[in-house]
Structure 1
């Protein structure tokens, strides 16, 4: 599981704090995956998916407002990436989640962490350059 590292800092305090929160959500999902005492994780998984979606929307609005404020020239392509992320989260099939809880939560964690890390390095760090 990837944990927060200062390597992910982009230099905008509010954005960095929000990125840390996204990592916390992924960490909570990982903790749930590893919790052997919870046999039916469905409701908790659904809650985590909702939290990931809601917080991502909140974070993306903050990031997009910042890009507009500084006149970032790649705003529209960056916003499109945000929209794609939300669309992917919205398409999560909750029936499949219920049938294969551990496998599905692992795939959600991998998707979210991989996307966030890649997005920070390849896109968000460009905002402040």
Structure 2
């Protein structure tokens, strides 16, 4: 099953939510590519799609980290570690994919676990916490 952006992923921060929609769209596209063509040409498409996803991950994480720094988010260090872990996972998947002739079932399962499941959990916990903290800082009377 392909990942979709749903209302339970909304954090309440418009910038973060829009970027999450884009990122989930890219993850969805990557899942489609992995599921479609299992030929050498499909392998090249999978590699370029994962590279495209990686570029957006870096853009998105940079934006989130700037926001957290600006609002003096107390959980910034932990959030940075989570982002570093995810970037490392993406880099490992890029290397793994380049070494395979076609994406294996093991690779697809790892994408589900380490990209899809991880990212959805991260949004619903860590990112939502940042958005709530930002809202509290902007309007402490309305909490």
Task: Give the TM-score band, short-chain normalised.
Answer: 0.7 to 0.9
* 1:121 to partner: Cα distance: 1.1
Q: Which residue of 2 aligns with 1:86?
A: 87
Deviations 1:39-84 (A, max 9, x none): 3311111112111211111000000111111110000110110011
Q: What count of residue pairs does the alignment treat as equivalent? A: 127
Alpha-carbon distance in structure 2 between the residues aligned to 1:53 and 1:117: 16
Deviations 1:5-31 (A, max 9, x none): 011111111111110111111111222
Larger radius of gyration: 2
Q: Which residue of 2 aligns with 1:73?
A: 74
Specify the SS of the correspondent of 1:72: coil
TM score, norm. by length of structure 2: 0.79
State which of 109, 116, 120 in structure 2 corresponds to 1:117: 120
Structure 1 outlier segments of 4+, above 6 Å: none
Root mean square deviation of aligned Cα: 1.8
Alpha-carbon distance in structure 2 between the residues aligned to 1:108 and 1:49: 10
